Chain A
């Protein structure tokens, strides 16, 4: 632990290891140049970050946690890859620049099918099925951007679609979604073709269960930025599926305020629908959710239970 910061017994943090002892040090002996030295350096594969690994980013600056939720083959990984490839090729809006990523390897591993694409029509499946290094804990990919010159870090969950399906069906699987309670926003991904196909009503029922789980089982506050993302929208001519109203209303009925975004992570008709359309809109909706506002002191100030006891010198009658 002292050399590498990694517990040989596989414990997630030093406190959990019975052999770890707290180093005692004196502040007087510390010189200024030791400040940059970190004894807790950690190593990870770069494929994905666990919640403990994510501290490496979030201890230094605020990390926006974005939960990507959706059934198998909905297009979650393609959404992430589209974002990554746009960032790495400077194809994001002018106000954004790629800054860093602690999971470059993870993005590249997921993108290898796209890298190998020889041209011609896009293959039916663009990304491999997501398999987590630890299938009991959520994994995140990290993307650091500069937005109007200000750094912004995104931790985006990349979880197998089966996790979403089991959340819809069984409340007892909700525990592994605990991280959503701290999410800055949730993107629920639905396959646009499924929403216009025979199975569309199954999608609606699944969505209703999902939103109920969010609210009732996980206790996610209803003011969380919630995006209903219709993926593969280029294949449905960027037309909003009619059934989407039912999905949207089921979320609104529970108190959420969803935003619907039609998305084409990788367009099959790039001359008509741009690659990556809708991807940054979903991210911006979450990152930019709050309006610029100031503390409303008057709203925060307490009112005494019995106002008549308040001295006139508080000048309340003047306001």
Chain B
């Protein structure tokens, strides 16, 4: 967010000079002006680079280069070396991402970036570094605000007014057909909303996993988390409001002992997984697989499922930490895993609509 340039640049510089702030403001303005012309993956690359940091991977390279070139044009003192400019580039990426979320223009890209950031931050502890933490909290605020606003707009029912069907001449007929087409589209949207609502209510009422053929409460909690998240992901329209995540949590945790729902080490959450789980999360050559390979920070659970599918066993946690930047020892509940997986599925769905 350009209005936050001074505050967010303080993650880098203890006392930012006015020239440095001005250079970054100008760079961010130009970056936002050019963002529509970039590959649409830029939204996810920005989310990944800001949530953790740019690690020099191929999927981030074009975005990193774009940010760095623009920044260096305004401030030539910025180093070329990744180890020396990491936080500089992260800070300009945050300012650009913030502006994209704040303006929500172009809308598709902004919603994709917002869902990417939400997915990247859902299971990730906030950094302990005071100013980095504040920056990420503000960005998360912008992201969830945009998602809630878009979710609400998508769920507003269209009121259909009666059509005048007297068509004395051809132009009137053409106009009537156009109106009819509009109404058909609106009817379709209303029907989609109704389907979402009915499906969710059935899902809540039965609490039954069709894939496993058992009630969720009869499954190991970590397995129930996967299938409940996937079922909710199939029911809801993207982006989904936060309350859908509450529904998911209540299904995963209902009819269970309290201790079953305690947080355990991330690596222990996958002990009960089988091919049913990893195949369901991410099939070979699916968009999920492709995106998780490119942006493991944004899609960590999908990345892990990919690895488990390939190796038929638990992932190597050293590699996992390097790629997803999540620690295998991090304590998470099964419902947190479910929420993470739902965030990922929704981000994939939005990416499918935006990137194609």
Residues of A whose CB lies within 8 Å of any CB of B are 5, 12-16, 20, 22-23, 27, 34-40, 51-52, 54-56, 58-65, 155, 178-179, 181-184, 224, 287-290, 292-295, 297-298, 300-302, 304, 310-316, 318-319
CB A183 to nearest CB in B, in angstroms, measures 8
CB B81 to nearest CB in A, in angstroms, measures 5
Known: A51-B14, A61-B87, A301-B148. 9 other contacts (CB 8 A): A15-B23, A16-B19, A27-B69, A60-B83, A184-B131, A293-B126, A295-B126, A311-B152, A315-B243
Contact B87 A295 (CB under 8 A): no
CB B224 to nearest CB in A, in angstroms, measures 19
A294 to B77, CA, bound (A): 35
Do A51 and B15 form a contact, CB below 8 Å, given A56-B84, A290-B128, A319-B243? yes
A182 to B8, CA, bound (A): 11
Chain B residues positioned under 8 Å from A318 (CB to CB): 243, 246-247, 250
Of B125, B131, B133, B243, chain A has the most CB atoms within 10 Å of the CB of: B243
CB A29 to nearest CB in B, in angstroms, measures 12
Q: Quick one: CB contact mask for B75-88 with A, threshold 8 Å, 1 for yes?
A: 11111111111111
Q: Is B52 an interface residue (CB 8 A)?
A: no
Interface size of B in residues (CB-CB distance below 8 Å) = 66
CB B48 to nearest CB in A, in angstroms, measures 16
Do A297 and B140 form a contact, CB below 8 Å, given A13-B20, A289-B128, A290-B133? yes
A65 to B14, CA, bound (A): 7
Contact A319 B80 (CB under 8 A): no
A265 to B125, CA, bound (A): 34
A190 to B128, CA, bound (A): 28
Q: Which of B65-104 contact A (CB under 8 A)?
A: 65, 69, 73, 75-88
Do A311 and B155 form a contact, CB below 8 Å, given A59-B88, A293-B125, A295-B140? yes
CB B45 to nearest CB in A, in angstroms, measures 17
Q: Is B310 an interface residue (CB 8 A)?
A: no
Do A14 and B118 form a contact, CB below 8 Å, given A55-B13, A182-B14? no
Do A300 and B130 form a contact, CB below 8 Å, given A13-B19, A294-B124, A319-B246? no
CB A276 to nearest CB in B, in angstroms, measures 23
Q: Is B197 an interface residue (CB 8 A)?
A: yes
Chain A residues positioned under 8 Å from B84 (CB to CB): 38, 56, 59-60
